[in-house]
Amino acid sequence: MNNNSGVVVSGSAAARLGLAPLTAAVEAAPDGFAVFDDDWTIRYVNPAGARLLQRSPAALIDRNIWIALPELGGTIFHSFLLHARRTGTAVSWQGYYAPAGRWLSATAVVAGDLLQLYFRQRNAQLTERPVDTDHTGPADEAENDDDIDRDRLRFLAEVSEALTSTLDTGQSAAQLAELVVPQLCDWALVAMLGEDGRPTGEEARAHRNPAGRADLDTYLTRRVRGTGDDSPLLTALLTGEPVQLPTIDPELVDPSLGTEEVRTAWRRLDTTSCTIVPLRARTGTIGALALMNTGDRPAHTEIEIATAVEVARRASLALDNARLYSRQLKVAETLQHSLLTPPPQPDHLQIAVRYQPADSHMQVGGDWYDAFHQPDGATLLVIGDVVGHNVDAAAAMGQIRSILRGIAFDRPEGPAQILTRVDGALSGLHVGTLATALVARLEQTPEQARRGRRTLRWSSAGHLPPLLLRSDHQVELLDSPAERLLGSEIVSRRTDHERELHPDDTVVLYTDGIVEHGRSGIDEGIAELIRVLEEVGHLPLEELCGQVLSQIVTGRTDDDIAMLAVRCHPEPSQEPT
């Protein structure tokens, strides 16, 4: 058995040791180890490997890798694993794994039907090759140049992959700073400009030595601004060209060191040279990247500056896209807030809602929730999903939500009657769209009020079944025969279903985005949702909803997610139950 650390255990030695000590050693190993079968099911992963992938072992083992780690798809690490399976021999890879924000070193080898993966976190270092004074011929120089070119191209590819993994400007700037340290410099600063061309104060920074981060923070946050030390940065912003300082002139920096604390921090940083590269996008210059060298690290070479310019070009595109996305997000959020109103909080009931838009559709879609009182005092709950994921779906959702709301408030009818009348309105008004919906009504007779009970009455138009979380934290799936979608123009009778609720029971309504996240099947997704609900069922309602989303929805989402949960709190009973 090869443990990838230079130690080989023979078969007979492994037999003498037994499986228990070997298993314990793998479990305690600081490096990651995982095993996949030929269907890409994760058969084993040790704790260190799970941590590197930002999961728990239980969330990975016996699950398909593409479902357990949907963010892996399309990355260079993904391509490496596919290549390792096809090759059938041991292959190695070093690179940036954007979903976890880590540089990894990995080796994969096929053993029978299994693919074994060894991986660890590494620092992003330029490949350093000692100069052999006895071999300095043209062939060796050409080989070294080829190696440098390969390293440079690989680094640029990893920068592109990392910066396209997020559409948040702050995260993109922080990733840029982390990527160039220590590959191109010892510490880095990314300074952003606003859309008006003025500094926003938004900065990201990174230092190759964790111990130097405190000094970097002290210098950058407490230095005296406007003393001229930022003139090279301003020159780069105004000219759009890189500015290099082969040496740092003390007279340039000293006026900004207003206190002994800042002067001490600057001395410890030991910054000796720098290069500042503007970040230029389609709309103009949006910021600057400062690459700072310390100690005896020499000033940047021409190839390093050229690499920095290319990094800045790719980063500028990613940052500009993130900024455009942010503007679109604000417009979408305005639309969402106008359609998804806060729920009421009836006596002895608590209602919590969540809406998480899809990342890949400009943050708008057709999922919605609603909750309001009917004229007779009953509480009505609605969850729905219009077919489609675009602005048209959001507009259709607004129409259907308004129609359903008006019909439900018009008279105290049951859910099946409400959905039937909505069908008629959609047909008569030629809305021309399909939607799933579930309408639930919380009712309470005087007798139930004396016993602290309620009735949940619901009807479903092709929507996912509600989940009932009992006070003992067991979850019941309130399944019912499938009925037609809203707008389908098929004539068939709609039916009501009911279940009695006890104090501390919780009803959860949801859309398919949460159960199909990570390319899960609906049945598997519902089973996972039930598992998480049973695990967090003891939490207060708002915290429960937050935990459900954080545990299930990892990485970017391809569909909108709406969730509505209502909890029955105990109320003073007039007679024993």
- Same domain, yes or no: 365 and 391: yes
Return the pLDDT at 563.
Answer: 95
- Same domain, yes or no: 514 and 464: yes
What are the tokens at 126? 């330029």
Q: Residue 30 sits in a domain of what CATH number?
A: 3.30.450.20
Return the pLDDT at 1.
Answer: 41
Domain membership flag for residue 575 = no
- Please state the rounded mean pLDDT for residues 562-567: 96
What is the spatial distance between Cα 101 and Cα 104, in angstroms, rounded to a whole number? 10
Work out how many domains the chain is built from and give that number: 3
Q: Enumerate residues 6+ apart whose C-beta is below 8 A from 408.
A: 372, 374, 380, 382, 418, 439
Domain membership flag for residue 179 = yes
- Same domain, yes or no: 427 and 546: yes
pLDDT of residue 76 exceeding 80: no
State whether residue 456 is helix, strand or coil: strand
Q: Which residues pair with 108 in a beta bridge?
A: 91, 117
Domain membership flag for residue 128 = no
User: Which of 62, 96, 122 is the C-terminal boundary of a domain?
Assistant: 122
- Same domain, yes or no: 86 and 202: no
Domain membership flag for residue 546 = yes
User: Which of 329, 354, 376 is the C-terminal boundary of a domain?
Assistant: 329
Question: 319 versus 196: which is more confidently predicted?
Answer: 319
Neighbours of 201 (CB within 10 A): 8
Domain membership flag for residue 199 = yes
Domain membership flag for residue 147 = no
How far apart, in Å, are the Cα atoms of 516 and each of 19, 73, 364, 432? 38, 16, 18, 26
- Please state the rounded mean pLDDT for residues 120-137: 48
- Please state the rounded mean pLDDT for residues 52-71: 86
pLDDT of residue 124 exceeding 70: no
Q: Which residues pair with 458 in a beta bridge?
A: 440, 497
> Whole domain around residue 66: which residue ranges?
11-122
Neighbours of 505 (CB within 10 A): 21
Distance of CA 184 to the CA centre of its chain: 28
Domain membership flag for residue 355 = yes
Q: Which residues pair with 353 in a beta bridge?
A: 564
Q: DSSP H helical segments within 164-281, as ranges?
A: 169-180, 213-222, 231-239, 250-253, 260-269
Q: Which helix (H) or strand (E) holds 159?
A: helix 138-163
- Same domain, yes or no: 503 and 368: yes
Band (573; pLDDT cuts 50, 70, 90): low
Return the pLDDT at 273.
Answer: 95
Q: How many CA atoms lie within 13 A of 124 on its CB side?
A: 28
What is the spatial distance between Cα 353 and Cα 524, in angstroms, rounded to a whole number? 23
What is the spatial distance between Cα 337 and Cα 354, in angstroms, rounded to a whole number? 12
CA angle 180, 184, 188 (to 5 degrees): 55
Beta-strand ranges (E) seen in 407-465 are: 435-443, 454-461
Q: Residue 218 sits in a domain of what CATH number?
A: 3.30.450.40
Band (50; pLDDT cuts 50, 70, 90): very high
- Same domain, yes or no: 293 and 362: no
What is the spatial distance between Cα 191 and Cα 205, in angstroms, rounded to a whole number? 9
> Which amino acid is present at 217?
D
- Same domain, yes or no: 94 and 181: no
User: Which of 329, 352, 367 is the C-terminal boundary of a domain?
Assistant: 329
Band (459; pLDDT cuts 50, 70, 90): very high
Lowest mean pLDDT among 97-101, 308-312, 463-467, 529-533: 97-101
First to last CA, the chain: 65
pLDDT tens per residue, range 253-301: 999 999 999 999 999 999 999 999 999 887 788 999 999 999 999 999 8
What is the spatial distance between Cα 246 and Cα 197, in angstroms, rounded to a whole number? 28
- Same domain, yes or no: 257 and 396: no
- Please state the rounded mean pLDDT for residues 192-211: 83
pLDDT tens per residue, range 206-240: 999 988 999 999 999 999 988 888 889 888 888 88
- Same domain, yes or no: 236 and 259: yes
- Please state the rounded mean pLDDT for residues 382-395: 79
Domain membership flag for residue 456 = yes
Distance of CA 130 to the CA centre of its chain: 41
Q: Residue 476 sits in a domain of what CATH number?
A: 3.60.40.10
- Same domain, yes or no: 82 and 197: no
- Same domain, yes or no: 447 and 547: yes
- Same domain, yes or no: 88 and 22: yes
